[in-house]
Chain A
Amino acid sequence: MANTAADMTKTEIARQTGHPLLKRILYYKYFYLLLIPAIIYYIIFAYYPMYGSILAFKDFNYAKGILHSPWAGMKYFDKIFNDTMFLKSFANTLIISLGRIAFEFPVPILLAVLINEVARTRLKRFLQTVYTFPHFLSWIVVSGIISNILSDAGILNQVITVLGGQKVNLLTDPKIFRGLLYLTDNWKEAGWGTIIYLAAIAGISPDLYEAAEIDGAKRFQLMRHITWPAIRSVTGILLILTIGSIMNGGFDQILNMYNPIVYNVSDIIDTYIYRRTFVTGMDFSSSTAIGLFKSVINVILLYTSNFIVRKINNEGIF
């Protein structure tokens, strides 16, 4: 975002050279005007709540509101770190997020490379159309679709019964539930994830492939030495963003798929905050402390992973 003269058009420079700051500001007055609604929006719905995070250090009093509630120091942080339920959800969040990096992150990359190997353009387009569609459905709809297949009377159990097996309920099996989360999230999002990789692959010059083929390169060598380098930087950027959201773990999906039987393996920080605030009790201060803890770690992770990827890849996101 360098604001250098090279970035500006000639007319812009011509109008500004020698102009004092005030004149430049006046020149852009309508642009500031256009930004006012957005600035108000961000202050109310993003920055004021950020300021409201100080509630984590206060004893919340409904009548007094966030600003006038009395200070409580680090009391609520001590409290949450002695809360076994919170520690459990913290561990689950890390396990599920790492599981997603292992079992979900690579899937769109592989899928994009395989789609790219399909010679027929129409088949390619058809596959992408089919794979991408579920992305646009909400997790509620997808949860309904999944339960239809996996439920007691669903087709999975019909098949198992025909084969002479015992009926299973995958949605209430703690041993399987995390795997089910990865699988269903892949079903919904992997196709959408391929788009950005396919776009990067589309930018490769066909000459590269031709030249390599003339030199006798095999299919897998082409994938490894031409296709992969082209998508490596995109992969790095997406990896930063994924690592920067490790503390999230997929709230929409889990809230719409889990049930008390599998809380033990699937209760993440966000679902725990939601339940302890709106279902079981109203301990606003500790829930705020958990939220703040989570956001701070997310930002630290984002910057750290950005730093590391930039060292390896020479390109980060900021």
Chain B
Amino acid sequence: MVNAKRTKRKRIELFDIINVLFLCMLAFISIFPFYYVLIISVAKFEDVSKQLIYLFPTSIDLSAYKVVLSGDNILSAFMVSLFVTAAGAAFNMLLTIMAAYGLSKKGMPGRNALLTFVVFTMFFNAGLIPYYLTVKGIGLINSIFVMIIPLGINTFYLIIMKNFFTALPHSLEESAKIDGANDIYILYKIIIPTSAPIIATITLFYSVDRWNEWWHAMLFITDKEKFPLQMVLREILFDFSQTLGNSMGASIRASRINIYPRSIQMAIVVVTAVPILLVYPFLQKHFTKGIMLGSIKE
């Protein structure tokens, strides 16, 4: 993505200075909110109210994290999210790889019709109610699998992967075919191992999507013990913004748990965001490739 070949200009113009300053300022705006979340999550209430502008942490108090991590609901929500991410991404990859390979052969009769069948779903959406009734009809209400099964394929990722498989050299399959191997065996033994980069990319994309899943939980999960981390965070954020309206609510909360409520909220924000931060270096290594491959036109 970085155009290294481009010749460096000899003179540094005023424009370069302004440009770099401007972009660094934007980088600061991108980073600062995270820094502020972090320092608030470890702050004591007195310290935040004492200082006129709380910009540098004067105390590191981990009690918010202790409250968050000792609470049963957060821990179980974390496990739900972990399960949905692992099982969901595995299910996603199984369906997507099979379908992408199935659609990758240009000579296959009926392939264009099948492609249209798939792509049409990107453009025309049935709407919330029929979808809701369908999922309900299958009996997925209040099942943890509602965050996995109805989200089986992301059509955009499927097309990216199909384009990748189509672009693979044909000679890969030929020799195995001569040896009498069938196409499913070839997919498993030859295609998947040679497609590691795209498989890594799409797996990461799916994992992030499943980790961030909240909408299906909000619609279909009624039992709060089955909530993923995102939904627990949502409830705690929204509950707080409701109690924010009356100062009494906030003070009740503060007295009951002897901790700054905002610290707790931000601690959950951190717990929810850290797994993404951990996989981000891998994501970043791959996502340009993913986007580029996806934009290859047939």
Contacts and interface: CB of A to CB of B under 8 A. Distances in A.
Contacts of B16: 117-119
A299 interface: yes
Interface string B280-291: 100110011001
B103 interface: yes
Contact of A158 (B33, B52, B138): B52
Contacts of A151: 241, 244, 262
Which interface class (under 10, 10 to 19, 20 to 34, 35 or more) fits B?
A: 35 or more
Nearest to B130: A52
B58 interface: no
Contact of B131 (A35, A45, A131, A191): A45
Nearest to B184: A30
Contact of B53 (A11, A114, A162): A162
A38 B283 contact: no
Contact of A34 (B2, B184, B288): B184
A128 interface: yes
A124 B133 contact: no
Interface stretch (A82-90, A96-104, A136-144): A136-144
Mostly, the B contact residues are helix
Contact of A144 (B130, B215, B265): B265
A216 to B, nearest CB: 14
A190 to B, nearest CB: 9
Interface in B102-133: 102-112, 114-115, 117-118, 121, 123-133
A121 B4 contact: yes
A180 interface: no
Nearest to A259: B241
Given A25-B109, A278-B219, A116 B114 contact: no
A187 to B, nearest CB: 7
Interface stretch (B24-32, B59-67, B72-80): B24-32
Contacts of B5: 206
Interface string B18-59: 011011101101110110110010000000110011110000
Mostly, the A contact residues are helix
Contacts of A202: 1-3
Among A37, A136, A278, chain B packs the most CB atoms within 10 A around the CB of A136
Nearest to B287: A195
A150 B271 CA distance: 21
A244 B24 CA distance: 34
Nearest to A10: B170
Contacts of B94: 37
A53 B7 CA distance: 57
A37 to B, nearest CB: 6
A133 B280 contact: yes
B269 interface: yes
B54 A127 contact: no
B6 interface: yes
18 contacts: A1-B298, A3-B111, A24-B108, A28-B105, A28-B107, A35-B114, A38-B102, A46-B126, A48-B130, A117-B15, A140-B214, A145-B37, A148-B33, A155-B53, A198-B1, A201-B3, A244-B123, A288-B130
Given A290-B127, A298-B125, 9 more contacts: A35-B103, A141-B269, A148-B265, A153-B262, A202-B1, A202-B3, A273-B128, A287-B129, A295-B125
Q: Which 3 A-B pairs have the closest CB atoms?
A: A291-B127, A52-B130, A49-B126
Interface of B: 1-9, 13, 15-16, 19-20, 22-24, 26-27, 29-31, 33-34, 36-37, 40, 48-49, 52-55, 94-95, 98-99, 101-112, 114-115, 117-118, 121, 123-135, 137-138, 150, 152-153, 158, 170, 174, 182-184, 187, 208, 212, 214-215, 219, 230-231, 233-234, 237, 241, 244, 262, 265-266, 268-269, 272-273, 276-277, 280, 283-284, 287-288, 291-292, 295, 298
Interface of A: 1, 3, 7-9, 11-13, 16, 21, 24-25, 28, 30-35, 37-39, 41-42, 44-53, 55, 65-66, 111, 114-119, 121, 123-134, 136-138, 140-141, 143-149, 151-153, 155, 158-159, 161-162, 171, 187, 191, 195-196, 198-199, 201-202, 204, 206, 209-210, 219, 234, 244, 252, 256, 259, 270, 273-274, 277-278, 284, 287-288, 290-292, 294-295, 298-299, 302
